[in-house]
Structure 1
Amino acid sequence: MRVSPAATPHAPVGRPRDAATLILIDRSLGSNRVLLGRRAAMHTFMPDLYVFPGGRRDAGDHRRPFASDLHPLVTQKLLAANRRPMTAGSARALALAAIRELTEETGLQLGSELSPADNRVPEAAELSTLRYVARAITPPGSPRRYDTRFFLTFTDEAGVDPSHIQDSQELLDLQWLDIGDISCLNMPDITKMVLRDVADQMKADPSFGFGLAVPFYFLRRGQFVRHML
């Protein structure tokens, strides 16, 4: 989702589709490493760019099972500043979409390293460690438009083994990269902005609390806006 004021003049303005993405941070080696992958060249939207795992919310995401729910502060933030009414179930479906996309694109599943003694529902998503860290709407003129919510969690909290990543047809060259040293990658502007915000916040609060202010990026009358939710 490239955020730029240079939208194509007179392009049709489509309603953005709900989408979600997951920023996964590995801090097991003493530094903060983020998981990024390169979108396949066949994609119409952002081909060959490095992004976080993610994609649009599907109708079936509302019905996906979950073993633990979102933190109440995360749900509260997700329900804020929506033009169309959103229920707690719809907010949860965004998080479930992010986790589904993570599994489809990288092979990782939150909670996969938890002990069987936890009596978790098989393949049920773990939502309790997810933070809500950003929102962005693709500007008019893009071949695809999305209203994307960015979630974040840590591999150690979410029961994820960082070594289990595997490329997919959608994301290639998956890598764990130092969050402060990724300038060499070809990334969408919005990915760079969100990563910069996340890196700055982690310097102030390494645990990344659940109720922090959420930057919302969008275009208003041709001007780029960064609004805090």
Structure 2
Amino acid sequence: MSEVQVGKEADHHPYKRPRDAATLMLVDRSGPVPKVLVGKRHANVVFMPGKFVFPGGSVDKTDNRIPIAAPLSAGLEANLAKGSPKTAPSRARSLAVAAIREACEETGLCLGRKVEGSSKKLPGPWSAFSDAGLLPDPSGLFLIARAITPPGRIKRFDTRFFTADASAIAHRIEGVIHADAELVELVWVELGSEHLADAHAMTKNVLNQLQKRLTTGPLRHDAPLPFFHWYSGKMQLDMLPGED
């Protein structure tokens, strides 16, 4: 276990139980240097205003009920169960699907696949998938890290950081990014870019983990899983063994 630096934020708020959340880090490896997709948050939002972040958000009650094009891999499901509190298989599915939904809602980039015989109209934010003849596809996701917000913050999340290759983008929705949206700017940036210099400390921590994974070759489920959590009054990093 090692200590991790965290950003300076107000820590005097009443205790809140962390909400399950999911983030998707899309990576473009078509060029000589991998690029990651980040969005700039609106200056008036409560959580991390004006910061460059990965698309993501809380798990929704519909995420476990939406049909998917293919199941989670066994390795991903096993990795999602690691850390404390434990994650049930049904919750693991919800987390992976939530990452895809949030990315589609916030960036207009949707990870899905056409499935023969699937023509049912999907509800709410999922309508973009069924309109395009797709179902969300979490089968190509990899878990990069898990991080739980320290107590005392205005919002607390138990966030799972997923990654997927940009080639998995199956549909694009125009007009999602604009001056009044949650994300006002969307850019593909090289790791270490100046766009990331002012990123939140935990965003930088997870980016470092992603960069390490990308330098070792193809992504694998058996790589060690970073788990950032609050322990004995400090943010700690545990490296949990991965699984195939």
Which TM-score applies when normalising by structure 1? 0.87
Q: Judging changes above 3 Å, is the alpha-carbon distance between structure 1 residues 72 and 104 closer, same or farther for their aligned structure 2 residues?
A: same
Shift of 1:213: 1.3
Q: Judging changes above 3 Å, is the alpha-carbon distance between structure 1 residues 8 and 143 closer, same or farther for their aligned structure 2 residues?
A: same
Deviation per CA, 1:100-129: give whole Å up to 9, x if none: 000000111113xx6x6x638433111111
Q: Judging changes above 3 Å, is the alpha-carbon distance between structure 1 residues 72 and 170 closer, same or farther for their aligned structure 2 residues?
A: same
Alpha-carbon RMSD = 2.4
Distance in 2 (alpha carbons) for counterparts of 1:170 and 1:141: 24
**Secondary structure at the counterpart of residue 228 of structure 2:** strand
Q: Judging changes above 3 Å, is the alpha-carbon distance between structure 1 residues 200 and 182 closer, same or farther for their aligned structure 2 residues?
A: farther
Shift of 1:87: 2.1
Q: How does 1:37-116 map to 2 (within 5 A)?
A: 37-83=39-85, 85-111=86-112
**Secondary structure at the counterpart of residue 63 of structure 2:** helix
Distance in 2 (alpha carbons) for counterparts of 1:170 and 1:135: 23
Aligned to 2:201: 189
Q: How does 1:146-185 map to 2 (within 5 A)?
A: 146-156=157-167, 158-160=168-170, 166-167=176-177, 169-182=181-194, 185=197
Shift of 1:73: 0.6
For residue 225 of structure 2, the aligned residue among 204, 207, 214 is 214
Distance in 2 (alpha carbons) for counterparts of 1:54 and 1:19: 7
AA partner of residue 103 (structure 2): L
Shift of 1:136: 0.5
AA partner of residue 63 (structure 1): R
Distance in 2 (alpha carbons) for counterparts of 1:59 and 1:53: 19
Q: CA contact under 8 A between 2:25 and 2:36: conserved in structure 1?
A: yes
Q: CA contact under 8 A between 2:108 and 2:173: conserved in structure 1?
A: no
Is 1:119 aligned to 2:81, yes or no? no
Shift of 1:164: 7.0
Q: Judging changes above 3 Å, is the alpha-carbon distance between structure 1 residues 100 and 63 closer, same or farther for their aligned structure 2 residues?
A: same
Gaps of 5+ in 1: none
Deviation per CA, 1:39-62: give whole Å up to 9, x if none: 112211111110000001111111
Shift of 1:27: 1.3
Q: CA contact under 8 A between 2:21 and 2:56: conserved in structure 1?
A: yes
For residue 38 of structure 2, the aligned residue among 36, 39, 47 is 36
Q: Judging changes above 3 Å, is the alpha-carbon distance between structure 1 residues 20 and 102 closer, same or farther for their aligned structure 2 residues?
A: same
Q: Percent identity?
A: 37
Shift of 1:11: 3.4
Shift of 1:159: 4.0
Deviates more, 1:27-36 or 1:125-134: 27-36
Deviation per CA, 1:196-229: give whole Å up to 9, x if none: 1111221122x11122111011121221200112
Gaps of 5+ in 2: 119-132
Q: Judging changes above 3 Å, is the alpha-carbon distance between structure 1 residues 86 and 103 closer, same or farther for their aligned structure 2 residues?
A: same
AA partner of residue 206 (structure 2): V
